[in-house]
Amino acid sequence: MKKLHALAPLLLTVAGFVFMGALGIRRLYGLGVTMSGALVATGFGLYGAWLLWESRVSVREVAKDSVDRDRGTMEFAAFAKLSLLTGALLPATVPVVWLAVVGLVLMVLGIVIRGSSVRELGTAYSHRIRLPELPLIVSGPYRVVRHPAYLGTLLAHTGVVFLLPNPWSVGALVLLWCPAVMVRTVWEDRYLRSVPEYVRYAERVPWSLFPGIY
């Protein structure tokens, strides 16, 4: 059971890649060689490259301790993410060009923010909620908000919905993905406050996700 718990991030990543790949190819085939098809193909390529790049984090998880500090928040986020991708890719949605361009910009912005957050923490970064390594790393995007990786993934998946908007993808974003990110952020922040150095850091950087807002 503990081994399965440790493998969960990697298994979810592989399942997501295979599932998204199948739906994405199906959607691209339906759109054909059109401007809409090119926009979706660009978004599909961006997302796939991001998933591959971040899969190395999932591989590292296998060797780390498997104590459950997530309390189901990671699994809820994975379910919400797959629901959003399914809602975006399964229906025969034809992108609105200007919305799709906005979506691609959001995807790039979100991937850059998340990627820089992961790189800043290095091997200390984890898909699981863990006690931070000391001294805390508070450089890069962590100087602005305490959970920039969550901000990045929130923006990137909002971009996916802008790229392929329909009632299902919008519903999954509003009812599942946004709540999943918020719940996980609040839970992790509460857990990390058991570390005095993190409490002092939170006083210096009061914003959890959105600078000047929350």
| Interval 148-168: pLDDT, tens | 999 999 999 999 999 999 999
**152: domain range?**
2-204
CATH classification at residue 39 = 1.20.120.1630
Q: What is the pLDDT of residue 34?
A: 86
Tell me the pLDDT tens digit for each residue of 10-48: 566 666 667 777 777 878 778 888 888 899 999 989 998
Using alpha carbons only, what angle is made at residue 5 by residues 191 and 19, rounded to the nearest 5 degrees? 105
Q: Is residue 210 part of a domain?
A: no
Residue 194 forms part of a structural domain: yes
> Residue 214 falls within a domain, yes or no?
no
Domain membership of residue 172 (yes or no) is yes
Q: Which residues contact 157 (CB under 8 A, 6 or more apart)?
A: 81, 84, 110, 173, 177
Q: Does a structural domain hold residue 209?
A: no
Is position 211 within any domain? no
- 62 is a domain residue: yes
- Whether the CB-CB separation of 141 and 148 falls below 8 Å is answered with yes
Number of compact structural domains in the chain: 1
Of 148, 155, 145, residue with least CA distance to 110: 155
Token pair listed for 95 = 């992108």
Q: pTM for this structure?
A: 0.88
Burial 109-143, CB ≥16 within 10 A → b, else e: bbbebbbebbebbeeebbbbbbeeeeebbeeebbe
How far is Cα 9 from Cα 15, in angstroms, rounded to an integer?
Answer: 10
Enter the tokens of residue 108. 């790039």
Q: Which residue has the tokens 């199948």?
A: 22
Judge whether residue 78 has pLDDT over 70. Answer: yes
Alpha-carbon distance of 24 to 1, in angstroms, equals 33
Picking from 17, 154, 32, 126, the residue whose alpha carbon sits closest to that of residue 70 is 126
pLDDT the model gives residue 179: 96
Residue 9 — pLDDT band, cuts 50, 70, 90?
low
In a domain, 213, yes or no: no
The CA distance from 78 to 14, in Å, is 12
